[in-house]
Structure 1
């Protein structure tokens, strides 16, 4: 059951809402414009607020839905977290789009929302605060993501290992942004 749900979560995660919405709206491919990242921030830059909001909701949903299904199936918290991580992996390396995906922040937030909703609050607050001061989405994401870990470790310790792995993957996917930040070349809003 766990493997089947993990495979289905990966396949769901492989749906790139940024790419699909761009195609449906006749807009540019986010992999070929702006930052080249098929995610919410790039969609905001190249397609506007409406498509960015829809991308965000889709990416959140594909992280949340597999976790909720795993909960409904009676799986434990750690299994739910691994299934959520499979959805994030699909977002990062989508089967349907030549394994060129986004950075996983919104999908990870959806996963976390399913695992332990209160842990999302400090992360969202930190993202908003860092973004308000820096106008840099990548820095906000990198600052906000680890803030959910202590609360999650306290309330859902079984999910900590998959979440630590997830954080490492998110940092890895932002390595280009980190280089640009340190070089003073990161894009701001």
Structure 2
């Protein structure tokens, strides 16, 4: 019962659609109506409003961190905290408030990792940033980080509930980036800073 209550609470926290909330508060279009249609920071950036994109990024990351931090603060067992970690991530990817059509979970996953262990979170963020800077592919950074994250968690905590939770999140992230992977393989993925082609709706991590 305890795990179920924490999972439900974390899921509802994860379901908070910061992309939609921030966009409405700043008088912007609903992010689901343009670009990739994902309610996430990368798509909000397509509106041309960098402040809105940053606020969305911080909100999505903060909810992942907060749900895991709160579970730990309430002295939930490690297994229950791991359940909360998965639940808040799933809340972002499949939000009840948006008919289960959410973002790809990159920022929320980063927040979860920072709450699990700040060293792991920073290491994964460093890998993501290094790949993005070197390649200018935001999606490639997310994909590599998703693969690297379980190894980083295993190095810190061994074979634990957190390790299993991060494997699950990484698998979902890769699944959500299926279209990006195909575009990368075919050389069709758009780099950061490239001019958007007319009618293009490239999938990017959110």
Q: What do residues 32-83 of structure 1 show as CA deviations (whole Å, max 9, x unaligned)?
A: 2112211111112224211111011100111011111111121233321210
Aligned to 2:147: 146
User: 1:67-146 alignment to 2 at 5 Å?
Assistant: 67-146=68-147
Q: What do residues 14-40 of structure 1 show as CA deviations (whole Å, max 9, x unaligned)?
A: 111111111121211111211221111
Normalised by the size of structure 1, how large is the TM-score? Answer: 0.94
Aligned equivalents of 2:5, 2:80: Cα separation in 1: 12
- SS of equivalent residue, structure 2 residue 33: coil
Normalised by the size of structure 2, how large is the TM-score? Answer: 0.87
User: 1:39-54 alignment to 2 at 5 Å?
Assistant: 39-54=40-55
Contact 1:38 1:102 in 2 (8 A): yes
Count of matched residue positions in the alignment of Structure 1 and Structure 2: 189
Aligned equivalents of 2:50, 2:145: Cα separation in 1: 22
Unaligned runs of 5+ in 1: none
Unaligned runs of 5+ in 2: 193-206
Contact 1:78 1:162 in 2 (8 A): no
Contact 1:44 1:51 in 2 (8 A): yes
| CA positional deviation for 1:134 | 1.6
2:201 paired with 1:186: no
Q: If each structure's helix is expressed as a fraction of its own residues, which one has the higher value?
A: 1
Aligned equivalents of 1:184, 1:11: Cα separation in 2: 38
| CA positional deviation for 1:154 | 2.6
Moved over 4 A (4+): none
Aligned equivalents of 2:18, 2:190: Cα separation in 1: 22
| CA positional deviation for 1:168 | 0.3
Higher relative contact order (CA 8 A, sep 6+): 2
Contact 1:128 1:140 in 2 (8 A): yes
